[in-house]
């Protein structure tokens, strides 16, 4: 069983920044996320899209923001349970919580912070009649290990950043990469679109636009796909893997059954104090929560994380009083022994 001070459900930007705020209070953290890597939507859906409302950054790519947050929390050694979904929660006799994932991993903490963004993510599946028959048999909605596709034939469907980025990446891994998109225009970053066009000219990518995959062929494993082209009719492409990348659909998932007060698919919290839910010890921060005047912005989630951690400290240590110190004064002392602080200026007395 994994024990920690604050169990954070969701490893998006708000969840990651919670690690930093908790670390300043000497509180240990562990994060659970259904995605295979930290970063939430910023890492999974639009890593190359610019964000313009992060204080101090006139412009920063979503993926770079995640990288910066990971670097910022490194001194506090957070734990991660990735690729698993928080499934059940149980209040124990010692007033702590037991959270179990869909894979049976158990976590115990006196405080649970739900920072699940818009909830857990489920892939948007294309309307292909037999697609579920080939899941884990050549059909994948998320690429977890690119080496699986080493020297294999791959067909990717989609027109966003994820489809473009993986097409570019797998062009140097797979033996053959085909990208299918129903339009001529793409929704991804311009440099990615240009790179795919360049790889197409070099013969490293087979680009089929104004077309959709309508059929998956094979017995125990994918052997090909049937494509409906706008002008050329039916096209058959032999392949070992079919990867439709149409984004992820957010859902509260099992959290909706935890006895929390839900309003419009979000968790109601007390924003006048600490973003606590109707269950003491369980907080909700970031896009997953709702209250009067709520703004679904990353910077709002950062603010909520800071306030929540102060309340969590008082819950864990009710007999202690924490005196907040500005990082510009006290510095940042990591659990790994590192310390960042301003240089001390030597002031000489004037006689």
> Which positions make up the binding site?
14, 33, 41, 46, 86, 121, 287, 328
8 A C-beta contact, residue 215 and residue 134? no
Q: Measure CA 127 to chain center.
A: 25
8 A C-beta contact, residue 89 and residue 258? yes
CA distance 216 to 224: 6
Residue 120: both structure tokens together: 């857990």
Single out the residue of 157, 138, 158, 141 nearest to residue 149, CA to CA.
138
Residue 98: both structure tokens together: 């037991």
Binding residues for FAD are 14, 33, 41, 46, 86, 121, 287, 328
What single-letter DSSP state applies at residue 82?
E
8 A C-beta contact, residue 121 and residue 109? no
CA distance 336 to 334: 5
Residue 95: both structure tokens together: 């007033």
- Looking only at the bridges linking them, the beta strands covering 339-340 and 332-333 are antiparallel
């Amino acid at each position: 069983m994994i024990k920690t001070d604050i169990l954070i459900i969701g490893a998006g930007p708000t969840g990651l920044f919670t690690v930093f705020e908790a670390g300043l209070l000497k509180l240990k953290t562990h994060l659970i996320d259904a995605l295979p890597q930290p970063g939430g939507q910023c890492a999974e859906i639009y890593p190359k899209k610019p964000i313009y409302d992060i204080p101090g950054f006139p412009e920063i790519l979503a993926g770079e923001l995640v990288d910066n947050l990971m670097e910022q929390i490194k001194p506090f050694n957070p734990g991660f349970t990735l690729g698993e979904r928080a499934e059940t929660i149980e209040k124990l006799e010692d007033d702590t919580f037991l959270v179990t994932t869909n894979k049976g991993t158990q976590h115990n903490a006196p405080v649970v912070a739900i920072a699940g963004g818009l909830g857990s993510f489920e892939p948007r599946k294309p309307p292909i009649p037999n697609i579920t028959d080939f899941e884990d048999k050549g059909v994948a909605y998320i690429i977890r290990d690119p080496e699986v596709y080493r020297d294999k034939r791959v067909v990717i469907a989609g027109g966003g950043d994820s489809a473009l980025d993986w097409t570019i990446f797998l062009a140097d891994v797979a033996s053959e990469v085909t990208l299918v998109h129903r339009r001529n225009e793409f929704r991804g970053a311009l440099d990615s679109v240009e790179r795919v066009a360049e790889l197409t000219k070099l013969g490293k990518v087979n680009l089929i636009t104004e077309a959709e995959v309508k059929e998956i062929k094979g017995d125990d494993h994918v052997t090909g796909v049937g494509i409906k082209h706008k002008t050329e009719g039916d096209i058959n492409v032999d392949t070992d893997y079919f990867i439709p990348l149409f984004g992820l659909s957010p859902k509260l998932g099992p959290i909706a059954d935890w006895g929390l007060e839900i309003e419009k698919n979000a968790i109601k919290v007390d924003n006048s104090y600490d973003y606590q839910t109707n269950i003491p010890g369980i907080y909700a921060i970031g896009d997953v929560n709702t209250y009067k005047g709520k703004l679904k912005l990353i910077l709002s989630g950062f603010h909520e994380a800071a306030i929540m951690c102060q309340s969590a400290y008082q819950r864990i240590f009710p007999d202690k009083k924490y005196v907040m110190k500005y990082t510009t004064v006290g510095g940042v002392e990591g659990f790994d022994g590192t310390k960042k602080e301003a240089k001390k200026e030597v002031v000489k007395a004037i006689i």
